[in-house]
Amino acid sequence: MGLLDSLANIFENVSELANTISNVCSGCNQVDEDNNDEREDDEYYSVDLETTGLSAQEHEIIEIGAVHYKNGIEYETFSELVKPHAHIDGRSRSKHGISDDMVKDADSIDEVSKRFASFMQPAADGSIPVVGHNVGFDKKFIDKAYSDSGISADYDYVDTLALSRDEMPNSKNHKLSTIARDLDIEQEEDHRALADARTAGRVYSVLNKRR
């Protein structure tokens, strides 16, 4: 074999190796992109309210807490007290610890609702889930506040209470604190809006993977 033939064979082998490396790297890039797309889908909001009572028609919101999760990680939060028209009675105060003095300088529900709606705007068309524990309760109060303030939104609510009943039927009960403890999820102070929103969001992250 002459020198030119040898050089030609070497060049051909190098070209084949380069093509192989290129294909492998291309495949790796595709895998990364696919994984990124999958992670981008892991986005949701978690919400919780504290109120002066159980009826959305008779009682008022006194605290709103929400967490925006992206890629399964806390991205941003919303937390505001609300000044109600009525006195916060002892029975209500014993559940969440929020007193009249704590809300005396807070904004009205009309003002806070508008800021909350702005925070939740990416989910307003139903494209991003909004989760909460017994979230139907929160929905009634949010709907009333939005209606009174002229705000429109079509949230896609997901109830972690119902989800826990489906995925954890043998739990002692399905209170948020019980489910979080059974899942070894760290909890903050109970019955404050942002803390419970965080816990509900973490519960959803775990249980949603089981479905």
DSSP string, 74-136: EEEEEEEEB--SS---HHHHHHH---HHHHTTSBPHHHHHHHHHHHTGGGTTSSSEEEETTHH
CATH topology of domain 42-208: Nucleotidyltransferase; domain 5 (3.30.420)
Q: What is the pLDDT of residues 17-44, one digit of tens each?
A: 445 444 434 433 333 334 444 434 589 9
- Structure confidence at residue 17 (pLDDT): 46
Helix (H) or strand (E) holding 203: helix 193-208
Q: Is the pLDDT of residue 143 over 90?
A: yes
What is the value of pTM for the model shown?
Answer: 0.80
Q: What is the pLDDT of residues 55-81, one digit of tens each?
A: 999 999 999 999 999 988 999 999 999
At 6, the pLDDT band (50, 70, 90 cuts) reads low
